[in-house]
Amino acid sequence: MSDSPRPLKHARLPDLWGPDEVPHTPEAWSSHRRPQLLELFRDHVYGRTPEGGGVANIRRISRDAAALDGLAERTEWTVTLTGPLGTRHVSLLLYVPREATASDPAPVFVGLNFNGNHSVSADAAIALSQAPMPEIAERGTDERRWPLSMILERGYAIATMHYCELEADLPGHASGGVRGLFHGEAELERPDSRSWGAIGAWAWGLSRILDVLETMPTVDAAAAIAHGHSRLGKAALWAAAQDQRFAAVVSNESGCAGASLFRHSAGETIAMITDAFPHWFAGGFRQFATDVDQLPVDQHLLLAAIAPRPVHVASATLDFHADPRGEYLSTLHASPIFSLFGGSGTLLTQLHVPGTDVLPCVVANLHEPAVGRRVGGRLSYHLRFGEHDVIADDWSHFLDFADENVLA
Ligand code: GTR
């Protein structure tokens, strides 16, 4: 990030509070504005998640009572997902600290992986992903992104699933994935403006993992932290916004349609993302590519919709595509809602600059985050040196954030 402030493309962000007069109280937020915002995100960005599906069955397919040099129990499960039009089988990989018991269950990080459960660890016992992929990743390719021992040593369980088992990440593949549990081929080929996209499907999958974890005695599903990197960070935010059972969320470099503001003039735009990934969104989202001002939400409102549950946003200095400054600004603008609930966000002082359209914190350029330091409270942020990635440094912030906000 440069030292000089960058303007928002359009100075005015949609208000935290709606156009109709509502008292600024936690109750008004929870009963009125939050549900209203979720409807707007459903209608215009991610699409509407249908009701009526769920987990029909779980079957354990493997167990290692002393995985990771005795640190954890590792199990794999075949989860049968169901909807009005059929079933799909997906694989869940779960590590639980060995000391966890039914009377002292472990909090859990719940996140999807990019390349198959077998990519998060080189352990040859882990089943290869069954997702329809042109190439199967090597075992352990993503170990660097999943510092399992470090997470387990801190007392957290980890549950993960290959996102392409929920839906392959290509246009035209919805019917083979979980969206095909709800809609026939014809409906999926001609989606209406509010129909859900793949991000919605992956978010739905995160909630189904939580359904499974609720049945596991040594896992504390009430202390589940949704997390994800990049497109999977978008899915984690959308899952946590909709499903209040998630106790917290960590977004790593989720960028456009994740933590970053659409109206900040940097990084990926709605035009770019809907060109490259038309299948991710509600059918009607693309219309905002040419006029972002018409979009009735921006992403600070998605962060706010998760409040008062803790949210951590992580960026990297060289990840220009995900727009680190746009992600930080988003946390600043969501902060007042976290304060409303008695917590704190990244915005420490609220300035009012009368007679200007430009947002106060941009004018003042306050609280530029130092690299490598986590700032904020229940809504927090860190900026790491380097490229688009998730590494052990990021995880050490996630773990500190979880210790302070989920366990405390
Ligand atoms: C990019 C995409 C981003 C982000 C990223 C990722 O190509 O433009 O929005 O999701 O992929 O998932 O790594």
Radius of gyration of the chain (CA): 20
pTM, to two decimals: 0.95
Six token digits for residue 123: 């352990």
Element (H, E) at 97: strand 86-97
**How many angstroms separate the Cα of 359 from the Cα of each of 168, 264, 366?**
40, 11, 11
Q: What pLDDT score was predicted for residue 135?
A: 87
Identify the band that residue 11 occupies on the pLDDT scale cut at 50, 70 and 90: low
**How many angstroms separate the Cα of 405 from the Cα of each of 117, 310, 340, 378?**
28, 6, 16, 6
Of all protein residues, whose CA lies closest to atom 10 belonging to ligand 1? 231
At residue 386, what is the residue type?
Answer: G
Q: What pLDDT score was predicted for residue 134?
A: 79
**Atom number, ligand 1, closest to the C-alpha of residue 388:** 13
Residue with tokens 């039914």: 102
Q: What mean pLDDT value characterizes the chain?
A: 92
pLDDT in tens, 113-147: 999 999 999 999 999 998 988 789 999 999 999 99
Identify the band that residue 367 occupies on the pLDDT scale cut at 50, 70 and 90: low
**Atom number, ligand 1, closest to the C-alpha of residue 258:** 9
Residue with tokens 């993992």: 209
Instruction: For ligand 1, say whether the CB of 267 is within 6 Å of any of its atoms.
Output: no
Identify the band that residue 338 occupies on the pLDDT scale cut at 50, 70 and 90: very high
**How many angstroms separate the Cα of 381 from the Cα of each of 30, 154, 267, 307, 326?**
24, 21, 18, 15, 12
**How many angstroms separate the Cα of 278 from the Cα of each of 80, 164, 199?**
28, 16, 11
Choose one of 268, 323, 327, 389 to mutate for the ligand 1 pocket test, by most ligand atoms within 8 angstroms of C-beta. 268
**Atom number, ligand 1, closest to the C-alpha of residue 257:** 9
What is the residue-wise DSSP string for 17-78? S-SS----SHHHIIIIIHHHHHHHHIIIII-BPPSS-EEEEEEEEEEEEEHHHHTEEEEEEE
Helix (H, G, I), strand (E, B) or coil at 258: coil
Instruction: For ligand 1, say whether the CB of 255 is within 6 Å of any of its atoms.
Output: yes
ipTM, two decimals: 0.98
Q: What pLDDT score was predicted for residue 364?
A: 41
Q: Are 200 and 206 in contact (CB under 8 A)?
A: no
**CA-to-CA distance for 113 and 228, rounded, in angstroms?**
8
Instruction: For ligand 1, say whether the CB of 319 is within 6 Å of any of its atoms.
Output: no
Is the pLDDT assigned to residue 60 strictly greater than 80? yes
Is the pLDDT assigned to residue 360 strictly greater than 50? no
Q: How far is the CA of 268 from the centre of ligand 1 (A)?
A: 9
Q: How far is the CA of 26 from the centre of ligand 1 (A)?
A: 34
**CA-to-CA distance for 133 and 105, rounded, in angstroms?**
35
**How many angstroms separate the Cα of 388 from the Cα of each of 271, 316, 369?**
21, 6, 18
**How many angstroms separate the Cα of 86 from the Cα of each of 163, 177, 185, 238?**
19, 11, 13, 25
* Length of the chain (residues): 408
Six token digits for residue 292: 């972002």
Identify the band that residue 292 occupies on the pLDDT scale cut at 50, 70 and 90: very high
Q: Are 331 and 15 in contact (CB under 8 A)?
A: no
Bond into 308 cis (ω within 30): yes
Q: How far is the CA of 10 from the centre of ligand 1 (A)?
A: 23
Instruction: For ligand 1, say whether the CB of 273 is within 6 Å of any of its atoms.
Output: yes
Q: How far apart are the first and last CA of the chain?
A: 33
Q: How far is the CA of 100 from the centre of ligand 1 (A)?
A: 36
Q: Name the residue with higher pLDDT: 198 or 18.
A: 198
**Atom number, ligand 1, closest to the C-alpha of residue 273:** 8
pLDDT in tens, 12-45: 789 898 877 677 899 999 999 999 999 999 999 9
